[in-house]
Amino acid sequence: MADRMKSLWKKRVRRARRVRRGIRLGSDRPRLSVFRSHRHLVAQVIDDERGLTLVHASTLEGELRGKTGDKVTKTEEAKRLGATIAARAKEKGVTRVVFDRGRFVYHGRIRALAESARAAGLEF
């Protein structure tokens, strides 16, 4: 069992590196990095030259989290998160980013977040 988990982890890391290889690190644009768990999403705008996180947003935050009893889907939460991260990035003066989906497929919640951020004014 341990060998199987180790090989799965290696595949995840390899997939993430393959995706990030196409991203020009150290460019004039910061990186919009996305992490997806089974229930939540986390998005960060990262300046790789300085090694700083400029903006952070998560569906764990109070205003982005669906209230108990509301029929809010995870995709709708991803759309809210995209709009929020775009608004916070614009407050910091960031309008152009490179989208880093990590090891996750550009589909579903990741796609909803990206399209919402684009609609809110981020360019990538």
pLDDT of residue 2: 81
Q: Are strands 52-58 and 41-47 parallel, antiparallel or unpaired?
A: antiparallel
Q: What pLDDT is stored for residue 20 in this prediction?
A: 81
Instruction: Give Cα separations from 52 to 22, 65, 76, 80 (angstroms).
Output: 21, 25, 28, 24
Q: How far is CA 36 from the centre of its chain?
A: 8
CB 78, CB 41: distance < 8 Å = yes
Q: Phi and psi (nearest 5°) for 64?
A: -95, -15
Only one residue has tokens 């300046």, namely: 47
Q: Where are the alpha helices (DSSP H) in 39-121?
A: 74-91, 109-119
Q: What is the pLDDT of residue 27?
A: 67
Cα 90 to chain center, whole Å?
Answer: 16
Q: What is the pLDDT along the chain (124 residues), one digit of tens a residue?
A: 688 888 888 988 998 888 888 776 556 789 999 999 999 999 999 998 888 999 999 999 887 776 655 788 999 999 999 999 999 999 999 999 999 999 999 999 999 999 999 999 999 8
Q: Is the whole model's pTM more than 0.75, yes or no? A: yes
Domains of the chain: 2-119 (3.30.420.100)
